[in-house]
Chain A
Amino acid sequence: MALTVYEDIERCFEGGWSDGLPVVPPYGSLVDRMLGEMGWKPTEVVGRIKAQNIEIRAEHLAATAVMAGCKFEYGRLLRALCKGLMDPRLNLSGAEVTTGGASVLVMVGGPIVAELGFEHEANALGANNRANATVGRFAQMVRHFCGRGGGVLQTHGTIGHPGRLSFCIAEHPETVWPPFHTQFGIPAGTSAVSVMTSEGPNSINNHYGETPEVILDTIADTLQHAGMTNWYWHSGCSVIVIAPDHMQTISPKYNRDQVRKYLYEKAVRPTAELKRLGRITANPRPESKVDLNALRSPFDSEAQMAFIECGKAGGKFSALIPGWVGARMIISNVVE
């Protein structure tokens, strides 16, 4: 039996049914059970990518969930996650082919974080935890199987980032500010899963600052680094991860909306300098609203910044996760 399973894992590699890591072979009995937990019939069409002429059926997604190592009890979360993955606004095939090497960032919040055992403290952006690792892997595998892995697209990512294998973060069940998904109209107290196409995370270290302003200035400085992809395009969102120690310094004086406004005003650079650095094209299009005499934010509006609370107390780190510029929003869905 053990040898058969091992051989089946190898068959999946040889047949191209893999993301580069060993998979749980998608035996019919396992896939049927996952379908039951997801609440779908096998041939139900869950999504379509017209430009690629493909229909994504429930059995494709359930097989992928099994292969990624997801537990059956994750089914209802995966159903809501699939809704986000199949939303054309996420631009899944764009994330697959872009030179930007984007991943699909999955963000889980609400009571389901504790119910399914997600890690939301230690190493929250890369937890060695089954729920985080397999749910994040599932999202990347769906992207891969709908794209290069399915043989219908090539991928041109210049360097990519490790999140293209798995990238799932969970918010603290108890947050200082209202939960992450409330920024997208979902009530607090509800379980939700959100998706955003993203670049890799940038760590933000400030261990010696004692006021909220110096912590926020440090975050703003990260948002305005010269390599920020959004300088010209202005279309991507960014997720700012606030860990407990920084939150303890910031929150007595600032609420979330105030922080958003503060960062939007502070994270700017002279447009002429951006042009000198080659970060603004010499021939900008009108929709990029380039004014060489003005300061430039990497965002069109402060609403392009969203905040999530996770990480372990005891270290004064936060993080910036820049969104890929080919998708213009974070998509959030309720887990029923």
Chain B
Amino acid sequence: MSANLSHGTEGGIPKLPSAQIISCDDVACEPLVDPIPRPKSEPFKVVMQPKKKQVVLWDNGKPNSLQILKLAHSVLRARGVDVREEIAAKPISAGLPMNADLLAKYAHEDGLFLMGIND
């Protein structure tokens, strides 16, 4: 099992940190101050299948990403999968995080969106 967990799993899913911890002695109880910034709302919306039966490939700019995606493009097409012709490229450096505008843009893709990565 992967140990890429902060403090264990629950049903195979990494446990989130406690929202509250209460300290009690013989006389009284007090909540400890939460050190963890929490997302204000659900950060991810999970969609079980894409709206459109098409694969969209996206190059994140790591050194071999484009080569892997080109190969994936041809393999998928050879198997009869609808793959969008254009392989989009991340417009900023691979070393920089996605900004909100980019995330919003790609969140509206109707197809199955696959990002290529490779160091």
Q: Do A and B bind each other?
A: yes
Residues of chain A at the chain B interface (Cβ within 8 Å): 1, 4, 7-8, 11-18, 25-28, 31, 49-57, 59-60, 62-64, 66-67, 91, 93-94, 99, 141, 145-146, 148-152, 154-156, 232-233, 235, 281-285, 287, 325-328
In the complex, which range does the number of interface residues on chain B fall in? 35 or more
Which one of B7, B40, B63, B98 contacts A55 once the chains associate, using CB atoms below 8 Å? B40
Q: With contacts defined as CB atoms under 8 Å apart, how many contacts are there between chain A and chain B in the complex?
A: 138
Known: A15-B17, A15-B18, A25-B23. A283 touches B67 (CB 8 A): yes
Complex Cα distance, B67 from A258, in Å, reads 42
Chain B residue at minimal CB-CB distance from A235? B95
A56 proximity list for chain B (CB < 8 A): 37
* B63 and A14 contacting across the interface, CB-CB below 8 Å: no
Known: A1-B25, A4-B23, A16-B6. A54 touches B16 (CB 8 A): no
* B40 and A233 contacting across the interface, CB-CB below 8 Å: no
B37 proximity list for chain A (CB < 8 A): 49, 54-57, 60, 145-146, 150
Known: A50-B100, A52-B43, A54-B40. A64 touches B4 (CB 8 A): no
Asked if B78 CB lies within 8 Å of chain A CBs, one says no
Asked if B38 CB lies within 8 Å of chain A CBs, one says yes
Distance (whole angstroms) from the CB of A82 to the closest CB of chain B: 12
Complex Cα distance, B91 from A285, in Å, reads 12
* B17 and A16 contacting across the interface, CB-CB below 8 Å: yes
Complex Cα distance, B96 from A55, in Å, reads 20
Distance (whole angstroms) from the CB of A292 to the closest CB of chain B: 15
B41 proximity list for chain A (CB < 8 A): 53
Which residues of B (1-54) have their CB < 8 Å from a CB of A?
4, 6-7, 14-18, 21, 23-25, 30-41, 43
